[in-house]
């Protein structure tokens, strides 16, 4: 790989912001957006600061009163049209994702499908917002609870899922009556902006969804501005903790999803071929840049450990790494040169710490892509707790195998780790699986399923330092997060028989 910095293409398209229904640029500072497969700059993104964010907040505030009073069924109809447009433009969206992130097209398509499922959940808003009612809680007294929107809310999203994670947030927030400001990753912003344009095409009024590209100044403005009622975040744990403490200190409701170090336990009775096939996708899919990736395999027993390492080694020899836009590739590049250097550095650290590097992907060469940010799949054996490659979230195609003698020892490893996002077990033993799912200290658990990502009508969230806040993201928790309960108790004294009759059929037209 050529380590020199590629030249900036000054004629590259500049990606702006989406405010009050319009894509705008303000001649502010920009930074390059790369195609990680080629290492070349393909676009530039404008970075907005406080003034740009405040402009978006003003647009969202202006749109909120009318949007709040829009019947939920009308909001849901816009989401139905949005879903259809996402499906109709799937090829364009996936190409943009792969072009700027690097993941292979199959991964992009899977991301988009999961996003669409969250839009489908948002379409159920009329049912979800029905509230609760009790008649005659006292003499001629009725009481009910209803769920009212918060106002202007915000989301801050990472580079690894530029379409899915924003759609974890804004469809639910919007359909429940809020207006929304999104600060996506500046590393791969094009697909996010494309999706926003589709939502406008679906009929969303101007100002209901706004997008500002930016850095820390934009984030801090969202966290401190008194008009922002709630903030949802997905990213690394240090930033998640900062978002949570800063946002809550300024009176906001905050959910901040952080890092992960997900373990997969392989029991002696496991179907090894099935487990290895699943682990290859879980560890190396999307180049390992997933908070639900499996970077640690815990083999219970030396014999099963030897089998797993042998079969993983063989599978890695057959894995094709290349440009995600080309057919037949299993894994693409890392998202940026800086991230490539960081992940490669962890492989160097693992060797220094004494782990056995069984498969070394550091010097992979991809034909016709000498400047791409490619790192081949790496496999370590005999990794020990306390090593940095075990403890840290690497966020790349590096898989570590740890060996233990019992399920209890394996679970102790998981329970003692600072992260508690997800874990899984491969076994044929129902008792072992039941004990594991009941007692392991993580938020999402799989049995013979390596990526136990909940479907859209459940909620996604880890434990410990993988989640800051009381509510998980999307699904049922999304309504609890983006609304506040109001309980009304009402009594009307009798005034005699009413006169007049209305024969018209009630309508929300």
Whole-number Å distance between alpha carbons of 97 and 188:
7
Quick one: average pLDDT of 470-474?
93
CB atoms within 10 A of CB 330: 20
Output the pLDDT for position 493: 82
Summarize pLDDT for 209-252 with one digit per residue, the tens.
999 999 999 999 999 999 999 999 999 999 999 999 999 999 99
Please give the pLDDT value at position 500: 59
H or E segment and range at residue 464: strand 463-464
Domain boundaries, the chain: 13-258+466-486, 263-447
The residue with greater pLDDT, 173 or 140, is 173
Contact 263, 296 (CB under 8 A): yes
Average pLDDT, rounded, for the chain: 94
Structure tokens at 479: 């309504």
Residue 381: φ, ψ to 5°: -120, 160
pLDDT exceeds 90 at position 9: no
CB of 382 closer than 8 Å to CB of 399: no
Nearest to 423, CA basis, from 327, 295, 331, 288:
295
In angstroms, the Cα distances linking 63 to 21, 70, 121 are 11, 11, 23
CA distance 243 to 239: 6
Distance between CA atoms of residues 322 and 315, nearest Å: 16
pLDDT in tens, 105-119: 999 999 999 999 999
Which pLDDT score is estimated for 147? 95
Cβ atoms of 50 and 217 within 8 Å: the answer is yes
- Whether the per-residue pLDDT at 503 is higher than 70: the answer is no
Residue 13: predicted pLDDT:
87
Rounded to 5 degrees, φ, ψ at 130 are -65, -25
Strands 444-447 and 228-234: unpaired
Confidence of residue 499 (pLDDT cuts 50, 70, 90): low
Kindly state the average pLDDT of the residues 419-434. 96
In what helix (H) or strand (E) does residue 277 lie, and over which residues does it extend?
A: helix 272-284
291 carries an active-site annotation: yes
The catalytically annotated residue of 291, 329, 378, 424 is 291
Residue 420 has a pLDDT of 95
Q: Looking at the DSSP assignment, which residues form a beta bridge with residue 491?
A: 141
The structure tokens 């344009």 sit at 197
Identify the pLDDT of residue 244. 98
pLDDT (0 to 100) of residue 10 = 44
Question: Per residue in 250-296, pLDDT tens?
Answer: 999 999 999 999 999 999 999 999 999 999 999 999 999 999 999 99
Region 467-494: mean pLDDT is: 93
Distance of CA 310 to the CA centre of its chain: 33
Torsion, Cα 393 302 407 460, to 10 degrees, reads: 30
Question: DSSP per residue over 370-404, as a string?
Answer: TTS-----EEEES--TTSHHHHS---SSEEEEEEE
CATH of domain 263-447: 3.40.309.10
What pLDDT shows up at residue 3?
A: 41
CATH architecture of 13-258+466-486: 3-Layer(aba) Sandwich (3.40)
Decide if pLDDT at 502 tops 90: no
Q: How do the residues of the chain divide into helix, strand and coil, expressed in percent and rounded to 5? A: 40, 25, 40
Q: What is the dihedral of CA 38, 44, 45, 46, to 10 degrees?
A: 160
| pLDDT value, residue 248 | 98
Predicted structure pTM score: 0.93
Residue 463's beta-bridge partner residues? Answer: 420
The dihedral through the CA atoms of 159, 111, 174, 459 has a sign that is negative
DSSP 232-250: EEES-HHHHHHHHHHHHHT
Same topology between domain 13-258+466-486 and domain 263-447: no
- Looking at the predicted structure, is the pLDDT value of residue 498 above 80? no
DSSP state letters, 56-118? HHHHHHHHHHHHHHS-HHHHHHHHHHHHHHHHHTHHHHHHHHHHHH---HHHHHHHHHHHHHH
**What distances in angstroms separate CA 124 from CA 120, 129, 152, one per listed residue?**
7, 9, 21
């Amino acid at each position: 790989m050529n380590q020199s910095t590629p030249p900036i293409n000054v004629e590259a398209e500049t990606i702006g912001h989406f405010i009050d229904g319009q894509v705008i640029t303000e001649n502010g500072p920009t930074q390059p957006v790369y195609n990680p497969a080629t290492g070349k700059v393909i676009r530039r993104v404008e970075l907005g600061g406080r003034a740009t964010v405040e402009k978006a907040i003003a647009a969202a505030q202006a749109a909120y009163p009318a949007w709040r009073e829009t019947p939920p069924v009308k909001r849901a109809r816009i989401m139905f049209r949005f879903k259809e447009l996402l499906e109709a433009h799937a090829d364009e969206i996936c190409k943009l994702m792969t072009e700027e992130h690097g993941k292979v097209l199959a991964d992009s398509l899977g991301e988009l499908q999961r996003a669409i499922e969250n839009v489908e959940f948002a379409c159920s808003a009329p049912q979800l917002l029905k509230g609760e009612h009790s008649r005659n809680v006292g003499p001629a007294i009725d009481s009910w609870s209803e769920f009212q929107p918060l106002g202007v809310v915000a989301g801050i999203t990472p580079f690894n899922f530029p379409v899915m994670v924003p759609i974890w947030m804004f469809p639910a927030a919007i359909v429940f009556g809020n207006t929304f400001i999104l600060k996506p990753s500046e590393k791969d912003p094009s697909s996010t902006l494309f999706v926003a344009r589709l939502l406008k095409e679906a009929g969303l009024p101007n100002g209901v969804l706004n997008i500002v590209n930016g850095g820390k100044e934009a984030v801090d403005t969202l966290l401190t501005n008194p008009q922002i009622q709630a903030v949802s975040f997905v990213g690394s744990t240090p930033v998640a903790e900062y978002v949570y403490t800063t946002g809550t200190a300024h009176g906001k409701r905050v959910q901040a999803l952080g890092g992960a170090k997900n373990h997969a336990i392989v029991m002696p009775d496991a179907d090894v071929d099935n487990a290895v096939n699943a682990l290859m996708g879980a560890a190396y899919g999307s180049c390992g840049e997933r908070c639900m990736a499996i970077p640690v395999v815990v083999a219970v027993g030396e014999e099963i450990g030897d089998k797993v390492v042998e079969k993983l080694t063989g599978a890695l020899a057959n894995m094709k790494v290349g440009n995600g836009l080309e057919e037949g590739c299993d894994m693409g590049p890392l998202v940026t040169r800086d991230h490539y250097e960081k992940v490669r550095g962890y492989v160097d650290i693992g060797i220094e710490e004494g782990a056995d590097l069984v498969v070394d992907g550091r010097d992979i060469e991809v034909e016709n892509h000498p400047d791409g940010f490619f790192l081949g799949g790496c496999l370590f054996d005999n990794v020990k707790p306390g090593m940095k490659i075990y403890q840290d979230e690497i966020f790349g195609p590096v898989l570590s195998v740890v060996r233990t003698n019992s399920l209890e020892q394996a679970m102790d490893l998981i329970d003692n780790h600072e992260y508690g996002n997800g874990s899984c077990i491969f076994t044929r033993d129902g008792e072992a699986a039941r004990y594991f799912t009941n007692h392991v200290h993580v938020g999402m658990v799989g049995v013979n399923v390596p990526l136990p990502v909940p479907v859209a009508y459940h909620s996604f969230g880890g434990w410990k330092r993988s989640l800051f806040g009381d509510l998980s993201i999307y699904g049922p928790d999304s309504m609890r997060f983006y609304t506040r309960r109001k309980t009304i108790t009402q009594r009307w004294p009798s005034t005699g028989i009413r006169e007049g009759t209305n024969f018209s059929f009630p309508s929300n037209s």
